[in-house]
Amino acid sequence: MTHAAVDRPPVDLTAVRGDFPMLGRLVHGRPLAYLDNAATTLKPRPVIEAVADHYRAEVANIHRGVHYLSQRATDRYEATRERVRDLIGARDTPEIIFTSGTTASINLVAQSWGDANLGPGDEIVVTEMEHHSNIVPWQMACRRRGCVLRVLPILDDGTLNLPAVERVLSPRTRLLAVTLASNALGTINPVADLAAAARERGAAVLVDAAQAVAHAPLDVQALGCDFLAFSGHKLYGPTGVGVLYGRREVLEGMPPVAGGGDMIRSVAFEGSTYAELPNRLEAGTPNIAGVIGLGAAIDYVRELGFVWIEERERRLLRAATEAVGAIDGARVIGAAPDKAPVLSFTVGDIHPHDLGTIADGEGIALRTGHHCAQPVMRRFGVPATARASFAFYNTEAEIDALVRAIYRCMEVFA
């Protein structure tokens, strides 16, 4: 990767913030403090321009025209595939499959790989901190294939109960599906170790990198995973585009679940044959502009460099954890030593939705609810939390504004 600290001029935060048009807008007459980056990130100008340029001047479908524009669109689309390969350290470019997002990527594996590889009595292991999109597709696969879903529990500090790995993994484990970073707790999981334990038992490993991809460099070889999924929109890219990485040998064995254009070698009524990877798993016209926008997002992030991004976000998370943690009655949920920049909390008996509403009035975008991780809420005995999730463009002043909003809320609901 090219994110070494050496040879890089210091990053100018004001200039970086200037790259994001949304940071210039007001909400309820207040400057926007966007603290919902775990839900989706704001988009920098190069991403917006890449998408707009495609629609303004370069519209064409891919993989099918000899004409100039079609070839150009194809080149740009395929150039993003290569950028993704490089970003996550995959060996081969055809190991990168474009989908509509993390959810679609996981469902593709559950349906295609699941139906080809799972049978009655087989076990799928997930963790208690998974997003619903890394639980429900496996429950559906279990129902279809007669498998059993097993769960790796969470400890009080929001880390995984690692000694339980020996008990939960078994010779019947066919797949470990685990998130690299929790959207509700922030916890970063020791995925490489978990993957090694799963591989020892002959199980495949799927990594949900939705909450990790924007915050730290990824390396699918070092993780030792068979699959990795992420969404473009959490990496400063467009919505409606995502990635499924699959190890080539594993992808080769996966039957397509969607048939149609672009995924075939030849079609006859007697029977059809399928194209090679990656096209075999990308039926139909994809989100061309979205993929091109994702390419611009990857360039943008790598230009900033993960050294700076990690340092900046670590500082923001530390400041926010200290400031919110110091409020009387505040309870921070998720105290793992290694966290993505996510701060989940409750304050006394105040309902998180009330916190969210008061914060909204101040122009602060705060997420409240179960964060599509209801098992986590149940584990910690809360119906919901308020969640501030940070990106490198956030500021200490925005954290101060959050703290002021919490105090205001405490006054209102005293």
CB of 177 to ligand 7TS, least distance (A): 11
H or E segment to which residue 76 belongs: helix 68-88
Which residues partner with 339 through β-bridges?
187
How open is the CA angle 1-238-5, to the nearest 5 degrees?
Answer: 25
CB atoms within 10 A of CB 245: 27
How far, CA to CA in Å, does 28 sit from each of 31, 38, 362, 387?
8, 22, 7, 20
DSSP 343: E
Which residues partner with 353 through β-bridges?
none
Nearer to ligand 7TS, 3 or 132 (CB): 132
CB of 240 to ligand 7TS, least distance (A): 9
Q: State the Cα–Cα distance between residues 70 and 376, nearest whole angstrom.
A: 46
Nearer to ligand 7TS, 39 or 164 (CB): 39
Nearer to ligand 7TS, 242 or 305 (CB): 242
Nearer to ligand 7TS, 213 or 410 (CB): 213
φ and ψ at 181, to 5 degrees? -140, 135
Q: State the Cα–Cα distance between residues 8 and 205, nearest whole angstrom.
A: 36
Nearer to ligand 7TS, 305 or 352 (CB): 352
Binding site for ligand 7TS (CB under 6 A): 38-39, 101-103, 131, 133-134, 179, 183, 208, 210-211, 231, 371-372
Does residue 372 carry a catalytic annotation? yes
CB of 298 to ligand 7TS, least distance (A): 16
For residue 278, whether the previous peptide bond is cis, meaning omega lies within 30 degrees of 0, is yes
CB of 179 to ligand 7TS, least distance (A): 5
CB of 391 to ligand 7TS, least distance (A): 13
Closest CA to 177 of 227, 215, 217: 227
H or E segment to which residue 162 belongs: none
CB of 209 to ligand 7TS, least distance (A): 8
Q: Which of 147, 225, 372, 409 is catalytic?
A: 372
Nearer to ligand 7TS, 211 or 279 (CB): 211
- Taken in order 189, 191, 192, 194, the sign of the CA dihedral is positive
Q: State the Cα–Cα distance between residues 408 and 414, nearest whole angstrom.
A: 10
Which residues are marked as active site? 372
